[in-house]
Chains A and B, each alone.
Chain A
Amino acid sequence: MAGATQDAVRPATPQPGSSPSSAERLPRLALIGNPNSGKTSLFNQLTGLNQKVGNFPGVTVDRKTGVAQLGGQRWAEVVDLPGTYSLYPKSLDERVIADLLYNPLSPDYPDFVVVTVDASNLRRSLLLFSQLADLDLPAILALNMTDMAAERGILLDVPALERELGVPVVPMNARKGVGLAALRIIMADRLATRPPAGRFWQPSAELQPLLAAIRQHFSLPNDYLALHYAHQFGQLHFLGEDDRAYLAQVTAQYGFESMTQQAAETVARYAAINELLLEVVTVTRTERREPASNRIDKVLTHRVFGYLIFLAVLFLLFQAIFAWAQYPMDLIDQGIAALSGAIQAHFSGPLVRLLTEGVIAGLGGVLIFIPQIALLFAFLAVLEETGYMARVTFLMDKLMRPFGLSGKSVVPLISGLACAVPAIMGARTIESWKDRMLTIFVTPLMSCSARIPVYTVLVALVVPDESWLGIFNMRGLVLMGLYLLGLGSALLSALLLKTVLKARERSYFIMEFPVYRWPRWKNVGLTIVEKVKAFIFQAGKVIVAISVLLWVLASYGPGNRQELAEAQVQQQATAQRWPAAETERRVASARLETSYAGTFGHVIEPAIRPLGFDWKIGIALLTSFAAREVFVGTMSTIYSVGQDADLGTVQQKLANEKDIHGQPFFTPVRALSLLVFYVFAMQCMSTLAVTYRETKSWRWPLGQLVYMTGLAYAASLFVWQLFS
């Protein structure tokens, strides 16, 4: 991206004398259009890998920008705005558009806008365009999906459209890149000359006194902008308290009714557009054939086949993030281990241990998620691109609604069975703020794959490998019960949170069914790159930091207690002639017991004793925070099992552990209490980090931590107190 800036030629007024290092900004253009109008495809075509994901100030909406080459070796920064049907925002996402376009002083204020319109749906697409034109924003119309329009027999007279609209119109097919060269050249021209587009609609005369007052007060360039101030002042972030108070007063004074005016405006605009289109559009095909999409819908939303096909898609998705991802994950694991080993073989000292066991291990903890994230988003991108996702929402909505979730929550929830980290990132497809927060909040309750090692060790420890009623394996039944417990708690928690959480906006379910299409692999690839980058650079920082902290806690202890404990073990070893391996294991165990983590275990023991846990389990609960499967490793160290941490040995050691009366420590009830704890507890720093990144607030991850841990505590307390 830096390379691009160097080649840039200042388009507006080139100043040969100015130094190239001066921070003069690139010209900026904003991409705006209806959902499904091919805006994202166009953005990807223009910017390729030169994309950056940031934040719109003050909101959780991702701000995608990129650098694009225009014609004539010029460069411009492109801002991708959320898809919208009009300039009156109906969701939080859409509000960033108002903040950007109504404030000429904003650092993001575009030099011109490129409006993508769906040529096969011109009437509706032009509504948004007509509003932008009335704001006097210099615009280019990217007339997209011309192929689809032609297929439907819609003929467009492009020169006439240009004449009527007063802006350049570029027919194109953004998915295939057709028309892109022309668009680049016209964009470059647009930077030099900026005639405003023609007017579509004027606010009625009775509004004039109000608009004149607002225009004067804010020195606005036109009436239509003043009208939007009157409509939206409550939601514009850049207005100060005084300004809002003024607008509230003046709109009340003139008896301004926002909703009536908006409805009248939209109807009037459609009337104007209809008239305009009479000159521009000819429909040649007279015979009406049912579109292919509708015929596909008959199968994909069928009451039997619809669900069967969705189940098959889910199964495939689950296979991908559960099984296929395992191979690259193992490779990453081995690579990290090899790297640590190589460093430790050549260097030594506390800094090397910090580097290998803290930093590199933490880095490994970040990288290990990449295969799952990449695969999940490959799937999600294909589902979105083909238009199938909208049908999934359609099929599942009624089932999810009693729990306060929507049809779009299904895929994140199911993905949560593999791993909550990509699943929470996948919740981004949910437009409604409340639905999305509910989904993010409850997804970690789904039993993820990191819980499997814990489940298998403990279930195998206490549940006999017998069959029940001759057919059902007892262990399998218990395991299934744990998964159902997770699912049930996720749904019930959503129900609970639904009543607590106040919706920030009216949420609409209504959406357009996109036409079925083959996915564009470039778009799929760019989605994967974007998501992986977002995870590594935003959630990754937190994960590495916590990982280092946990390493310090488990490796160092207060004062010289660790040294004393180690010396004691060494003495015993010499006295009892233990083999070197045995000594090493006991030393590791003693060091962990006297570390900060061990101290933590002892300190919280009174709190967890009512659950049936001792300080050893307390240590495992802390270290599980790095990742739940660490439980197994910690248990094996603390019970001095040693390096070969294969499950069999851990199980034996746990089985051999005796309580003070000499009875087996891990009774079925104690194991059940621990299992239930692991079903509910939030013990995953990566999930917390990714929730933070997705909600852009620490309130949500902290809420998850407190709620889930509280739930786990209560459930374990219940189990232990009732059955022991």
Chain B
Amino acid sequence: MALFRRSAAVAASQPSPAARRTANDLRPGEAATVCCLKDPQMALKLLEMGCIPGTQVRLAGRAPLGDPLMLVLGDEEYTLSLRVSEAITIQLKD
């Protein structure tokens, strides 16, 4: 169900800098590199849990209701579970 949440049209309608993809935009199984962390407080938590800019993240799946989601960090090192509200603070490199 999560596949349909962000249609291409919505993404295209946003201006370029704001349209940077977040961890919440990943398709199941898709991997990308962390670019930056938006929310300063959340960033501190993410940083100490090993989610630093430059790390690869892969969306392993979502809970049946679309939220929270499962993110695998680095080279399959470990899995984090986080809410959508937390995942959108993780911005990805294009």
Contacts and interface: CB of A to CB of B under 8 A. Distances in A.
B15 interface: no
A294 B79 contact: yes
B42 A297 contact: no
DSSP class of A's interface residues: helix, strand, loop or mixed? helix
A398 B66 contact: yes
B32 interface: no
A88 B44 contact: yes
B81 A513 contact: yes
B81 A398 contact: no
B77 interface: yes
B94 interface: no
Interface string A502-545: 00001011111100000000000000000000000000000000
Contacts, number: 109
A297 B45 contact: no
A484 interface: no
Interface size classification for chain A: 35 or more
B88 interface: no
B87 to A, nearest CB: 9
Interface string A299-324: 00111001100000000000000000
A393 B82 CA distance: 11
Interface size classification for chain B: 20 to 34
A148 to B, nearest CB: 11
Contact of B44 (A127, A263, A270, A301): A263
B77 to A, nearest CB: 6
Given A263-B40, A509-B83, A512-B79, A307 B64 contact: yes
A283 B77 CA distance: 12
A511 B69 CA distance: 11
A64 interface: no
A502 to B, nearest CB: 17
A390 interface: yes
Given A86-B48, A262-B44, A513 B78 contact: yes
Contacts of B63: 301, 394-395, 397-398
Interface in B11-52: 40-50, 52
A90 interface: yes
Nearest to A288: B76
A643 interface: no
Contacts of B42: 508
B46 A510 contact: yes
Contact of B80 (A123, A266, A393, A511): A511
Contacts of B60: 294, 297
Which 5 residue pairs spanning A and B have beta carbons closest together? A303-B64, A513-B79, A398-B65, A124-B50, A510-B82
8 contacts: A86-B48, A123-B74, A267-B47, A294-B72, A301-B63, A390-B81, A397-B68, A511-B82
Interface of B: 40-50, 52-53, 60-61, 63-68, 70, 72, 74-83, 86
